[in-house]
Amino acid sequence: MTGTAAIIGGGVIGGGWAARFLLNGWDVRAFDPDPDAERKIGEVLGNARRSLPGLSDAPLPPEGRLSFHDNIASAVAGAAWIQESVPERLDLKHVTLAAIQAACAETAIIGSSTSGFRPSQLQDGAARPGQIVVAHPFNPVYLLPLIELVPTVANPPETVDAAKALLTSLGLYPLHVRQEIDAHIADRFLEAVWREALWLVRDGVATTEEIDNAIRYGFGIRWAQMGLFETYRVAGGEAGMKHFIAQFGPCLSWPWTKLMDVPELTDDLIGRIADQSDAQSGRHSIRDLERIRDNNLVAMMRALKQQDWGAGALLNAHDAALKPGAGLSGGVDKLETLDRLVLTLSRAVPLDWTDYNGHMTESRYLDAFASATDRFMELIGCDSDYIADPAGGSYFTAETHIRHLDEALAGTRIRVETQLLLGQGKKLHLFHRMYDGDRLLATGEHFLLHVSLETRRPCAPSAAIESALVRLSAAQSGLPWPEGAGAAIRKRS
């Protein structure tokens, strides 16, 4: 699903929304009266280009077009989704939403990034209340998937369903908040932690760094993959959640917290927090901190992808939705033509594939070419079903030669095209070319043998696989022999 989105307000959140839409193939029309808006959105987009595509093991659509406009009416023209991200002032939001509705299509969905206002407050006095919903994201919007989607009874069910479908198509998780409430759901948790943290700093119990360490070295990691209630269910052991509540429930009546009592933000407390924060993080610029944050988020979420758990399961589902539209599904019969190189991989280089030079590390070239080989095997019929069949088999790699010809960096969109050099009997000889656009980055030559998984010895593949190989071999016989094929490391002068 792609189209045109309008971003009204181009700060950190608005810029993140712009990046999320653009990198998922949407055209984005932006408006912000700030003369630096174009620069600020450009910097956010630069970070997003480096990090977001690497979360996916499938190719994202071609990046959409970004345009900047002098007024709201021009920006919202033709937009299917309009995201309002102006400062948290209700009067400003009312004026902005009125200007949007005066110019946008009646079928457009208007989402507000508000972290505190209820949707009924935003809809008050609106020309079309049912068009406006809360769509509250989390920073960075281009990486974190949670969107708190808060409608009211004024929003038709079909509008809510359309909003869910659209957000899901962007790789986001729309949490449908069925009852509007101040600060929605997630910010109420953050507010509770924030109040406790302010007291701890005010009373000299802990510094800002010590509080952050308590979160990131302890419960923050647990929460990242299992949330609150599931974490406590595990803490209850074999006896389960009832045991946990029975054991720890009484402490809720102890006078530990000050959740209903907020410390006065005096100049002294504000100065203390600012000084401690500068000592903790002041050696890094904001742009550096954003990249450090993005590196860590991508690494953690990619680790969760391997376990198909939490945010990782969401990313895997998004990959599965992307792959059918990328021309990477189906067998040999699904290929448009057989007499050209076969597209076997299309993806971006993730952050955790790069080394200390910022380059794609050597082992990941083999990783990419191995994935391309796996895809080629699927195309000829050596897929998971064939491998799982007791009478089936698989191809084992016997020899590999990789040539590194040019640089690939984090965020580089790579594709691998594969040529069949030999497909006869038990032998399979493949030559992969890795590109960034028209730039040849590397080649990988691979010789494989079909092996019986029962005897662990080489044997001929099934008749269906042999037939597919014969067809491809005949079709590709007119392709020139690739430069570098059959080569070994040569002595260089």
| Cβ atoms 434, 482 nearer than 8 A | no
Query: CA–CA separation, 262 vs 166, rounded Å?
Result: 39
Check the annotation: does 13 bind a ligand. Answer: yes
Q: What phi and psi, each to the nearest 5 degrees, are found at residue 109?
A: -100, 130
Strand partners, 29: 6, 67
Query: CA–CA separation, 301 vs 311, rounded Å?
Result: 6
Of the candidates 108, 73, 84, 72, the one whose C-alpha atom is nearest the C-alpha of residue 18 is 84
**Long-range Cβ pairs for the range 142-145 (8 Å, 24+):** 142/16, 142/19, 142/20, 142/23, 142/44, 142/47, 142/48, 142/51, 142/52, 143/48, 143/51, 143/52, 143/55, 143/294, 143/297, 143/298, 143/301, 144/297, 145/171, 145/172, 145/173, 145/311, 145/314, 145/315
Sign of CA dihedral 195, 196, 198, 202: positive
Check the annotation: does 12 bind a ligand. Answer: yes
Check the annotation: does 273 bind a ligand. Answer: no
**Helix (H) / strand (E) containing 109:** strand 109-112
Query: CA–CA separation, 22 vs 12, rounded Å?
Result: 15
Provide the CA 204 distance to its chain's centre, in angstroms.
Answer: 39
For residue 333, give both structure tokens. 């019969």
Omega within 30 of 0 (cis) for the link into 61: no
| Cβ atoms 421, 409 nearer than 8 A | no
Please name the residue ranges forming H helices in 29-172: 37-51, 72-76, 90-103, 119-123, 157-169
For residue 62, the SS3 value is coil
User: Which residue carries 């730039």 as its tokens?
Assistant: 439
Check the annotation: does 9 bind a ligand. Answer: yes
Check the annotation: does 14 bind a ligand. Answer: yes
Query: CA–CA separation, 106 vs 80, rounded Å?
Result: 10
**Helix (H) / strand (E) containing 132:** strand 132-136
As annotated, the binding site includes 9-14
Question: Which positions make up the binding site for NAD(+)?
Answer: 9-14
